[in-house]
Structure 1
Amino acid sequence: MIDTHVHFWNFDPVRDNWISDDMKIIRKDFSPENLTDPYNQLHITGCIAVQASQSEDENHFLLKLAAQNEIIKGIVGWVDLLNPNLDERLNYWQNHKIIKGWRHVLQAENRDFMLNPAFIAGVKQLKKYNYTYDLLCYHNQLEAIIQMVDQIPNQPFVLDHCGKPDVKSQDLKTWTENIKTLAANPNVQCKVSGLLAEADWQNWTEKELFNCFDVIFEAFGPERVMYGSDWPVMLISRPYEDWFNLVTKYTARFSEAERKLIFTDNAKAFYGV
């Protein structure tokens, strides 16, 4: 089994200022060694390390970790897609085959950034190098995401954290409509990950999360959904095992072959691991 979404960092209060005081449980260092016990217990054999900092230094940091830890099967790094010399940078990173794709923290950007022709041109260059692209956004940004991906045919995309629905309020109507529209694009897949951070951290209910799962699995089907944890961010709510067991419980309704897609095969095919 592959966990398609984990982060590692050496905590820096300035760089990592998005980790607020009420998230103090994750205001510290996290390394692959911290995943050894839960992964062994749950028979998870590998992960995709996703950028948490927006610099090319982050790529070198993750590459060093991957060289020391076989559990890292692929990296989603960061590169400046607005860089006039982007092609040169992508050609450079081609030397490191474990880098499978790229991500920018679009949730911190506005609509104009996502639909900037220069940014879209940057994403279009990824296909030349067979790179994937992770889409990180909030539910109220999905309309711009839809317009963006529709302009970039044949590029493999994956939506992180189900597009961050408002789990807490359960106001899911517009999010549901946009998820259906996005899923109509065959180039887009979805990670069932990250929902604990969008819920009431201590008081969420299984039903609230399963309501979101219902929408995702109906829209994308098990053929285009992959398991991810968003560790260690999800620790602000529950231990790793709780999230894994929740997804396992929900997916028990699917066939063994479909569960293998969700927990293993979709990730292998998408990220080429």
Structure 2
Amino acid sequence: MLSAQGRKGEMTEMDLTDLVDTHFHLWNLKKFQYAWPDADVPILFRDINIEEYAEETRDTTFRHAVFVQVLNNCPEETKWLLKLAKTHPFLKGVVGGIDLTSPDLEKTLDELSMDPKFVGTRHILDFEKEDWLTREDVKKGLGILEKKGLTFDLLLRPHLLKHVPSLGAQFPNLKMVVDHIAKPFIKDGKMEGWKEDMEKIAKCPNISCKLSGLVTEADLKDWKVEDFVPYVKHVMKIFGVDRCFFGSDWPVSLMAGASFQKVFQVLQDILKKLDVTEEDQIKIFRENAIKFYNLKI
């Protein structure tokens, strides 16, 4: 049971059940070759399978999850997860790493979309030049996603935020979400620049924000809940509670010593400090995710 702030300010007991994790990863070192993680990150550089995730979440109230790609331009990874979803029904959505610039994009998306658990795409921008989001071939691909009713996860760092408002305007019917609140400089306590750019993005009603990836942007060995409060407070103020939702970013969170349960607890503690109501917490941990990814729950 979770203590929550009621609408009239009284403390009430709330049971957050049947929740949705919108962001977790798996990898199979025998099946795929990864640019990251590598041997420099020994806690992650191993096979991480869906059974381990199931065990990690077993004693929580999370019953549904969305896998997010690790590999760019790799429909094989997406097919692997869609196959796993057939035997692990808690896996309700797969965000794939599909090449948006491929001449076969429509064909690939049509094939994957035969499975209703294929919900959208993402592209890891760390491996691209800074202007990748502005390229015409990329925009053409985003237009195809929009036409097909799929989503696009934006994995961004602060220096790329300037490119997003124009995309939101150009593709008003494409549902996009900023992953990990755009990886601000939490370790340094810096908000300047990130704060203003996120405000511009939030003016696009088709763009949401994942409350995820917080612990790995702080001091990995010495973080505390208070480090994250101003960032989450700002995001929730500008996007509104209806466009924010939770993602564990497990197992990457292990780099900061945070289990799935710990990541969940961190966001609960932040929301408690921000006096977020029971109704709004249910949106953040369940309802908004279902609507955004059109999950069949």
TM-score calculated relative to the size of structure 1: 0.95
Which letter does structure 2 place at the counterpart of 1:119?
A: V
Identity, in percent, stands at 30
Q: Does 1:219 align with 2:247?
A: no
Unpaired segments ≥5 residues, structure 1: none
Larger CA deviation: 153-162 vs 17-26: 17-26
8 Å Cα contact 1:5-1:49 kept in structure 2: yes
Aligned to 1:232: 251
Aligned to 2:287: 265
| Aligned counterpart in structure 2 of residue 243 of structure 1, from 263, 269, 276 | 263
2 CA distance for matches of 1:232 and 1:11?
Answer: 15
8 Å Cα contact 2:248-2:264 kept in structure 1: yes
Larger CA deviation: 170-179 vs 202-211: 202-211
**Post-superposition offset of 1:20:** 4.1
2 CA distance for matches of 1:270 and 1:66?
Answer: 19
Q: Aligned-pair RMSD on alpha carbons?
A: 1.6
Taking a change above 3 Å as real, the CA distance of residues 14 and 31 of structure 1, as seen in their structure-2 partners, is closer
**Post-superposition offset of 1:227:** 0.5
**Post-superposition offset of 1:115:** 0.1
Taking a change above 3 Å as real, the CA distance of residues 202 and 114 of structure 1, as seen in their structure-2 partners, is same
1 CA distance for matches of 2:217 and 2:89?
Answer: 31
Which letter does structure 2 place at the counterpart of 1:261?
A: K
Which letter does structure 1 place at the counterpart of 2:289?
A: A
Structure 2 counterparts to residues 135-150 of structure 1, below 5 A = 135-150=154-169
8 Å Cα contact 1:160-1:192 kept in structure 2: yes
8 Å Cα contact 2:21-2:248 kept in structure 1: yes
8 Å Cα contact 2:228-2:270 kept in structure 1: no
2 CA distance for matches of 1:23 and 1:13?
Answer: 19
Aligned to 2:215: 196
Equivalenced residues, count: 273
**Post-superposition offset of 1:218:** 1.1
8 Å Cα contact 1:161-1:195 kept in structure 2: yes
2 CA distance for matches of 1:31 and 1:20?
Answer: 17
8 Å Cα contact 1:111-1:144 kept in structure 2: no
8 Å Cα contact 1:2-1:47 kept in structure 2: yes
Taking a change above 3 Å as real, the CA distance of residues 14 and 89 of structure 1, as seen in their structure-2 partners, is closer
**Post-superposition offset of 1:13:** 11
Which letter does structure 2 place at the counterpart of 1:269?
A: K
| Aligned counterpart in structure 2 of residue 48 of structure 1, from 53, 61, 66 | 66
TM-score calculated relative to the size of structure 2: 0.88
Aligned to 2:3: none
Larger-gyration structure (1/2): 2
Aligned to 1:86: 105
**Post-superposition offset of 1:240:** 1.8
**Post-superposition offset of 1:246:** 0.7
Quick check: which one's helix share is greater?
A: 1
**Post-superposition offset of 1:22:** 4.3
Larger CA deviation: 223-232 vs 123-132: 123-132
| Aligned counterpart in structure 1 of residue 145 of structure 2, from 126, 134, 138 | 126
2 CA distance for matches of 1:85 and 1:17?
Answer: 24
Which letter does structure 2 place at the counterpart of 1:245?
A: Q
Unpaired segments ≥5 residues, structure 2: 1-18
